[in-house]
Amino acid sequence: MTSPVTSCPVAIRIQEDDFDIAREIAVLTRSRTDIGAVVSFSGICRADDDSARVAALTLEHYPGMAEAEIRRHADEAISRWPLNGVTVIHRVGRFMPGDNIVLVLTASQHRQAAFQAAEFLMDYLKASAPFWKKEESATGTGWVEAHARDDEAAARWTKS
Amino acid sequence: MKVKYFAWVRERVGKAEETIEPPATVRTVEELIAWLSSRSEAYAYAFEKPKVIRTAIDHAHVKSDAAIAGAREIAFFPPMTGG
């Protein structure tokens, strides 16, 4: 049995503007009847970090490489799971607690692929996409340190 | 070749990008970091822990033993903290 040929549009955007999750899902599923599941992950600016209360967060990125790196992992996700659409939006600029930072949407016929691909994309985005956060809090301003747990989260997807 | 710096590496070096012409004896990322570090205290500070520094050549991650020959753009930055 041959699997049905499905197209998997990939949208990757890095922008200062906010995103509308409902609108992005509508764009992803518009005119499609082959999608049975859409998983969405949103990353939001959080006030409480490990130590100090965060007043604001500034996100810097490496233009060109950030898009290329996300694209590489989107392509890998498409090769590993039967996906019908991928959207990744990462905001850059200065954010306050409660602001949206990142959106990952994955669409598939069934939920398992969509759930797994969304988690895979977020794990790799955190570990390898060139973005950096700088935190402002009552105790001062400083670059956020990378966590080993983020590298470990990405490493568990490595095929052995 | 063009070199770019990001986040605290950029702040320590004091510039976002520049064009450099390292001598032919500088063949790998590791050697380039050592050569840059010898240029001034600012570079030495930025690269004081070379194992922490991540490197990309032409928009792709590379290891410290990667050859720099033919590179159009090399970028140095701290471990990523996006998402």
How many Å apart are CA B69 and CA B27, to the nearest integer?
7
A93 interfaces chain B, CB cutoff of 8 Å: no
Which residues of A, range 42-61, sit inside 8 Å of B by Cβ? 43, 59-61
Question: Which of B60, B61, B80 comes nearest A146 by C-beta?
Answer: B80
pLDDT by position in tens, chain A (length 160): 444 455 799 999 999 999 999 999 999 999 999 999 999 999 999 887 666 688 899 999 999 999 999 999 999 999 999 999 999 999 999 999 999 999 999 999 999 999 999 999 999 999 999 999 999 988 889 999 988 888 888 888 886 5
Distances (CA, A) of A116 to A74, A87, B71: 12, 15, 35
For residue A50, what pLDDT is reported?
62
For residue A54, what pLDDT is reported?
85
pLDDT by position in tens, chain B (length 83): 999 999 999 999 999 999 999 999 999 999 999 999 999 999 999 999 999 999 999 999 999 999 999 999 999 999 999 99
Look up residue B72 and give its amino acid: R
Q: Which two tokens stand for residue A56?
A: 């604001």
